[in-house]
A and B are shown apart, each in its own frame.
Chain A
Amino acid sequence: AQSVTQPDIHITVSEGASLELRCNYSYGATPYLFWYVQSPGQGLQLLLKYFSGDTLVQGIKGFEAEFKRSQSSFNLRKPSVHWSDAAEYFCAVGPGYSSASKIIFGSGTRLSIRP
């Protein structure tokens, strides 16, 4: 069955510190992978996506993610966080080469920033 696991429910980091949010997936074929962010009162915004090619993907707001097929992981990173990065982050898979169109989300990781 297709699934996405985000093992960290809540993470707190200091402003200026580096960040890594973990994501593992289970998918029958080559997945399309996404990271979304939801800031308070806002909708889901796409940070970055991986379809194929270079396994290190650059996104908006200085975020990047690395696809590691051997580990079934797609971790999100940022070298230096800003207070405005406080939000909830969702890893997701799909739609891929199948006819399925739905996106499967992880349970989310809430990021807090310590001044």
Chain B
Amino acid sequence: EAGVTQFPSHSVIEKGQTVTLRCDPISGHDNLYWYRRVMGKEIKFLLHFVKESKQDESGMPNNRFLAERTGGTYSTLKVQPAELEDSGVYFCASSQDIYNEQFFGPGTRLTVL
């Protein structure tokens, strides 16, 4: 069974550009989460989807970040326009339900120059 996959593994963009990160959860997992780790600090929750609906988006830093999950399958996280402080590693995770283990992807390292 394939794990959580994320694309790209690394993205380097300039300030003001747009970047879209993609996450493919484990098949059959209705719950999908985004987290990020900025500047070697703690990993912080961004948002949580249940199928295609946003269950909790309390961690989204501002309106430059837009997450979608079309059809309840894969999810995208768009940053527009990117700022220097957005640099970090963006993790995606999925789980069958909120009381079971979240399986994490390898992350996307975003560098904004």
Residues of A within 8 A of B (CB): 4, 36, 41-46, 49, 90, 95, 99-108
A-B contacts counted at CB < 8 A amount to 52
- Pair B106/A46 contact, Cβ less than 8 Å: no
A69 to chain B, nearest CB (A): 20
B20 at the A/B interface (Cβ < 8 Å)? Answer: no
Cβ contacts B84-101/A at 8 Å (1 or 0 each) = 000000010100001101
Residues of B within 8 A of A (CB): 3-4, 31, 33, 35, 40-45, 48, 55-56, 58-59, 91, 93, 98-99, 101-107
Given A44-B104, A49-B101, A101:B44 Cβ within 8 A: no
Out of B40, B42, B56, B91, name the residue touching A102 (CB < 8 Å).
Answer: B56
Give Cα distance in the complex from A19 to B104, angstroms.
Answer: 25
- Pair B101/A102 contact, Cβ less than 8 Å: no
Closest to B47 in A: A102
- Pair B56/A101 contact, Cβ less than 8 Å: yes
Given A43-B91, A107-B41, A107-B42, A101:B55 Cβ within 8 A: yes
Please indicate the chain A residues that have their CB under 8 angstroms from the CB of B33 in the complex: 101-103
Given A49-B101, A95-B99, A102:B4 Cβ within 8 A: no
Give Cα distance in the complex from A114 to B67, angstroms.
Answer: 42
Which 7 A-B pairs give the minimum distances between C-beta atoms?
A102-B45, A44-B104, A101-B98, A43-B106, A105-B43, A107-B42, A43-B104
Give Cα distance in the complex from A44 to B37, angstroms.
Answer: 12
